[in-house]
Chain A
Amino acid sequence: MAAGWPDKDDHELLALLRDGSHAAFAELVHRHSDRFYRLAYRYMRQREAAEDIVQDAFLKLWTHPDQWQPGHNTRFTTWFYRVVINLCLDVQKKKSPLPLAEEFEVADDTQAAQDDALIERQEHAALEAAIAALPERQYTALNLCFVNDLSNQEAAEVMGLTLKALQSLIMRAKAALKEQLKPVKGEQRYG
């Protein structure tokens, strides 16, 4: 890879990509593939399927670089999140719903006592089921804000919403989740 690529911003790399630069494309992939994978994984719930989505999205960018239109004050990542989400939704529509993963590992498993770990697993299982039942837009809003750690403003841009509309979506999603998780939490933490 040519020296100096990491110093170039996304827009410069995209301009080079339009001219057929594989090095610019490689830099973009190295820079962003993980974040888009995290988002795709939340939709697909399978590693291979999420990887395929990310690959398809990047190959679309490579074969049709004109699809990216700079100059609308839109960041590349904001636009590409939308591309990834649309691909995920397309694939989900074509296929039957994926089963939830059987094992929900807790990120901080080593520190938790065994009982707590079990409770957390149950909580995560219940949470995943509750999230999967959310309407599509609420699901997307939660993923963008809590999986990809986007700010509300960024998430609103990705979804093409106003900030207030996004906040409203998140509030409704949280309310729905709380409602569904009440029995689980009532028994375990608040019982």
Chain B
Amino acid sequence: MDDMDSTLELLLRSRKVEPPRPGMAERIIMAAHATPQRVRVPFGVWLQRLCAEFYMPRPAFAFAMLLLIGFITGLGVPVDMDTDENGISQPASLQDFLYPEEDSAL
């Protein structure tokens, strides 16, 4: 290594770096506190969490409530409404349904 080489290395090593403002590390740590972490969740863990979302502490009570809600909803639907082949609601006659043969004889 010649003189120029060693002088150059000395110069390179003596290049001044302005020190950071005090508390740089603390600022970074505080910023992390305000930032949520996004960790990639494995599929197994994801599935487990999904199942936990649907966990029912009282399944029998929940099913009974579901039945009740279904029953009440069913009561609200008009009896004389029916849908034709095209799926359009049409007034349906209860008599037509109960006595179809009588109608055709007439």
Give the Cβ gap from B4 to chain A, nearest Cβ, in Å.
Answer: 6
Determine whether the beta carbon of B31 is less than 8 Å from that of A59. Answer: yes
**B52 in contact (CB, < 8 A):** no
Q: In the complex, what residue of chain A is closest to B36 when comparing beta carbons? A: A63
Q: In the complex, what residue of chain A is closest to B37 when comparing beta carbons? A: A20
Interface string of A117-144 (1 = CB under 8 A from B): 0000001100110000000000000100
**A26 in contact (CB, < 8 A):** yes
Q: In the complex, what residue of chain B is closest to A38 when comparing beta carbons? A: B17
Give the Cβ gap from A51 to chain B, nearest Cβ, in Å.
Answer: 5
Interface string of A1-40 (1 = CB under 8 A from B): 0000000000000000010101001100110011001100
Determine whether the beta carbon of B15 is less than 8 Å from that of A59. Answer: no
**Out of A26, A38, A127, which one reaches B29, CB within 8 Å?**
A26
Give the Cβ gap from B35 to chain A, nearest Cβ, in Å.
Answer: 6
Main secondary structure of the interface of A (DSSP, over half): helix
Q: Enumerate A46-88 residues with CB–CB distance to B below 8 Å.
A: 47-48, 50-51, 54-55, 58-59, 62-66
**Out of B5, B13, B29, B38, which one reaches A25, CB within 8 Å?**
B29
Determine whether the beta carbon of B39 is less than 8 Å from that of A178. Answer: no
Determine whether the beta carbon of B13 is less than 8 Å from that of A146. Answer: yes
**Out of A59, A181, A189, which one reaches B32, CB within 8 Å?**
A59
**B80 in contact (CB, < 8 A):** no
**A89 in contact (CB, < 8 A):** no
Give the Cβ gap from A160 to chain B, nearest Cβ, in Å.
Answer: 22
Known: A29-B25, A47-B20, A54-B28. A18 touches B8 (CB 8 A): no
Interface centre among A20, A37, A108 (most CB of B within 10 A): A37
With a CB–CB cut-off of 8 A, which chain A residues contact B35? 59, 62-63
- Kindly list the 6 A-B residue pairs having the minimum CB-CB distance in the complex, ordered from nearest: A146-B12, A62-B32, A107-B14, A26-B29, A66-B40, A29-B25
Binding site for A on B (CB under 8 A): 4-5, 7-9, 11-21, 24-25, 27-29, 31-33, 35-40
